[in-house]
Structure 1
């Protein structure tokens, strides 16, 4: 009978990980876990305490910091695969999962399905000939070396990329490989895993090549499996049910999707909402049921689109994403940096991004030209962003695959602050207090249209006290709002004095916060 070693990559929610691992091992299967080194040490220790006595669970031999689109995701997978291959000699299959995945079939059904299919299940389409990549970078993912993360180090990423193009430093794909692409959610037989691990030891040239490609989790295993396994033994599909919206975002399943999920020709589903507790409970109980019967219809994508298209608020399968009251998510943390001097907030955001690897976005509700990913049009204008602010933020959390996100807001956006604070997510606010010279305030008046190049000096002089009061008034309104988790740093204070507030806001050690607070050009106009 098939016995599965589940390869679980996760970075949050230790309680859910423990529950998931126990559920999977109760059916006689195995679990190998890589827990992101960026996550809190206390969360990792909680997983160890909760699963330490379970002989069917093993931890990856090393924890590394993972970043979307980076080689670290593949390396973390390999560490977990190596641990599982060594610890569980009876495992016949190795199945990639994330913390957002849950079974939509029973263990008995899953084992019988794999027993009847002597194949590897992995999406594996020709990288250059297929249309798997819809938008964005394609061949350049491979032909140039990518040392930086596009999401967290955008300037360095494109700076290094453009420099290589300018200098003609392109490279060729290893001659004996046909590069393939597909979803990272695969299920491979033991002999395939053994062949892949041997290949990684023997072909260091290929490992170096993939280590500097962009988004290698979509190409590494897909290419190696196709290279090592006869085509007749590969089923070019994933056994994990996942769909994407018209905006390119993964669809999230809720309590009323139980029947829909069970009827699909898949073994697991992704993503299950953390707030869909009843769905999680029912799917968890399903996996250990021996006599469950399944009628496979496989109409998931078309049925989902039909039902959500007909939905109204409160109705079965109603669309949730664009409701005004939609939540960012109870487990998420929105970190707002507000400062009248936008360049100061942007500098601090950039330093915080580098120090914490938390994605950060500049004044997206104030500047039309703020760099944003393509989210299907919702991001195109300030009016759309503001009107659908919660939907936009939720899409950005999903896009960056994170539970923590930083943004910059102008102090005048008090209504947005109130709205975000009223959400079920955790909202934190850092106000940067700066000094304002007369020259700066005059420049500000010209930028917002209160004055022009030909405005008489006496008019400007009369405006200055009003403008200065307006800046103070915005700060007072923020103070009077009594927001929880409100922190302040001041230009007039020393780095040591600003360190405590920064450490609490960013949830970083004091020495890291002090390093940010000591940025010598932070407050320079």
Structure 2
């Protein structure tokens, strides 16, 4: 029966490593650990101290300082393979693993699977005839020499690249070698690993080439296995289920992915999120569970591609929340103040906030700078607020913790007013009628860009009658619509008349309404 030696490259979290080793060895498998030489010495001592006498664990003693995209990762893997070959004579397969990987099948299932498939499982695609690389360097990985780490020595990395490119300093591929590419997470048979290690001793020119190749862990083993092993004995896929976004970033898995992962045609999965404690607990018990029945659907990558494409346009499992929750809803009151003079309405909302416990907001659908609470970013622009006004209002009610909200709308917002009136909520309106003097109209024309401060009196003489008629028309259109529960606050009315309108609108006591009607300078321009 198959026995697996896991090559575990790690650099942090000794407790998690100890847990992982306990899971993997519980079913009789082996682990060869390479702990990054640049990691904390105390962490390394903790791991070696805890596992020093474990018969199924060995350590790489000549450790390497590893860096992403460097040859050091390949070198650490080669040393892990050498240690595993020497320590575990019964190991039939060697499986690359990281600290972010967890089993999605039992050991019994994995062993039977490997016994049934006498193959090497490693992604191995022709480097120059595949779209495996989504972004960034392609042939530049190979034809130029890369001496510096792109992440820790970025300036040197790109300076050396630019210099070689400018003077056309390129290199040929090693003779007789077709470079392949694929995932660094593979599972190889013992004889294949022995062949790879023997080849590294026979062809030092190949080693020299890959030492200065960028991201060689995606090309070295993939190339050598394809060069040394008959194609019929290679299955060009990884037994570790992993996915990448269309930006080339690895996808992390969380608690609600458990059943999804168990259904994939793979033995392990990465990356498991550090926060997915429930998923880790469930998968942690799986490898030694002896479970043999798994329903394999293997729809993972196809489903991910299907859903992410629709997620961009809001068509995933269900409509976006603002499509599903378009209404404010029964049991809530929406109190709308309609006024062309925004400063007048704002004085009234300020007085409402001061004298009542009613949540009152200014022109949130007309003015970008209207003060609003932090609602996750949807409040930051008029376009976002207006994309679905009903959903935005529901969020506003929830955030304010109330069922009664006052908002202001410009009288030009007839479509929005009509939409709110059709809602199942209790919708009331207070129209504020103000006098439209020439000075106000001139200021309005300048604010909306119809005129400038330097426009001539003749220009204003032509504009003002039209602007006045438009504003009067907006008020007439609102009244002609016959909206129910509409009150009016008039600049020419008495305080008592305006107080009665406010009381009907807000549902407050007469004394409170009178106080609001007496708001200082309410109608002053």
Interval containing the TM-score (normalised by the shorter chain): 0.5 to 0.7
Q: 1:204 to 1:244 in 2, by over 3 A?
A: same
SS in 2 for 1:68: coil
Q: Quickly say closer, same or farther: Cα 1:197–1:246, change in 2 above 3 A.
A: same
Q: Hey, what does 1:260 align to over in structure 2?
A: 260
Q: Does the Cα contact within 8 Å between 1:8 and 1:97 map onto a contact in 2?
A: yes
Deviation at 1:387, TM superposition (A): 7.0
Contact 1:200 1:207 in 2 (8 A): yes
- For residue 57 of structure 1, report the CA deviation from its aligned partner: 0.5
1:9-158 residue pairs with structure 2 within 5 A? 9-158=9-158
**What CA distance in whole angstroms lies between the structure 1 residues aligned with 2:259 and 2:115?**
25
Alignment check: 8 A CA contact 2:102 2:270 kept: yes
Equivalent residue of 1:96, what SS?
strand
- Tell me the distance in 1 between the aligned counterparts of 2:136 and 2:195: 32
- 1:316-358 superposed Cα distances (whole Å, 9 cap, x missing partner): 9999xxxxxxxxxxxxxxxxxxxxxxxxxxxxxxxxxxxxxxx
- Which residue is 1:494 aligned to? none
Gaps of 5+ in 1: 320-385, 389-525
Distance verdict in 2 for CA 1:138–1:49, change over 3 Å: same
Instruction: Please give the alpha-carbon distance, in whole angstroms, between the structure 2 residues aligned to 1:175 and 1:260.
Output: 44
Tell me how far 1:247 sits from its aligned partner: 2.9
Q: TM-score, normalised by structure 2?
A: 0.58
Q: 1:303 to 1:139 in 2, by over 3 A?
A: closer
- Aligned equivalents of 2:13, 2:74: Cα separation in 1: 21
Tell whether 2:207 aligns with 1:207: yes
Structure 2 residue 301 is matched with structure 1 residue 301: yes
Per-residue deviation, residues 222-268 of structure 1 (Å, max 9, x unmatched): 00000000010000000000011233211111111110000000000
- What secondary structure does 1:8 align onto? strand
Structure 1: distance between partners of 2:319 and 2:195? 46
Residues 134 and 246 in structure 2, CA contact (< 8 A), matched pair in contact too: no
Contact 1:307/1:317, CA 8 A, preserved across alignment: no
Q: Distance in 2 between matches of 1:183 and 1:170?
A: 26
Contact 2:264 2:296 in 1 (8 A): yes
What are the equivalent positions in structure 2 for 1:275-354 lying under 5 Å apart? 275-304=275-304
Superposition deviation, residue 307 in structure 1: 6.4
Would the aligned equivalents of 1:256 and 1:317 in 2 still touch at CA under 8 Å?
A: no
For the residues of structure 1 that align with 2:303 and 2:169, how far apart are their CA atoms? 48
* Cα deviation 1:149-188 (Å, max 9, x = unaligned): 1111111011111222233321100111000000000000
- What pairs with 1:493-504 in structure 2 (closer than 5 Å)? none
What displacement does 1:49 show? 1.5
Cα offset, 1:133, TM superposition: 1.3
Structure 2: any 5+ residue segments left out of the alignment?
321-375, 379-525
The normalised TM-score by structure 1 is 0.58
Over aligned residue pairs, what C-alpha RMSD do you find?
Answer: 2.3
- Cα gap change, 1:318/1:164 in structure 2, threshold over 3 Å: closer, same or farther? farther
Describe the shift of the 1:310–1:137 C-alpha distance in structure 2 as closer, same or farther (beyond 3 A): closer
What residue number does 2:216 align with? 216
2:225 maps to what in 1?
Answer: 225
Partners of 1:307 and 1:115 in 2: how far apart? 35
Distance in 2 of aligned mates of 1:304 and 1:56? 37
Q: Cα offset for 1:306?
A: 5.9
User: Where in structure 2 are the equivalents of 1:443-482 lying within 5 Å?
Assistant: none
Answer yes or no: is the 8 Å Cα contact 1:8–1:34 preserved in 2: yes
| CA-to-aligned-CA distance 1:276-335 (integer Å, 9 cap, x gap) | 111111111111112341000011124345667679xxx99999xxxxxxxxxxxxxxxx
Please give the secondary structure, in 2, of the residue aligned with 1:188: strand
Alignment match, 1:249: 249
Counterpart-to-counterpart distance in 1, 2:75 and 2:195: 17
Contact 2:100 2:272 in 1 (8 A): yes
Indicate the SS of the match to 1:287.
coil
Q: Distance in 1 between matches of 2:138 and 2:66?
A: 22
- State the alpha-carbon separation in 2 of the partners of residues 70 and 37 from structure 1: 14
DSSP 3-state at the match of 1:286: coil
Rounded to whole Å, the distance in 1 between the matches of 2:216 and 2:71 is 6
CA drift at 1:82? 0.6
Partner of 1:5: 5
Decide whether the 8 Å contact of 1:307 with 1:318 is kept in 2.
Answer: no
CA distance in 1 between counterparts of 2:291 and 2:193 reads: 31
Count of residue pairs brought into register by the alignment: 319
Report the 3-state secondary structure (helix = DSSP H, G, I; strand = E; otherwise coil) of the residue aligned with 2:285.
helix
CA contact (8 A) 2:109 2:291 kept: no
Report deviation, 1:92.
Answer: 0.2
> CA 1:318/1:284 → structure 2, altered by over 3 Å: closer, same or farther?
farther
Secondary structure of 1:224's partner? helix
Task: Give the SS at the match of 2:147.
Answer: coil
State the alpha-carbon separation in 1 of the partners of residues 288 and 318 from structure 2: 27
Q: In the aligned structure 2, how far is the partner of 1:291 from the partner of 1:166?
A: 59
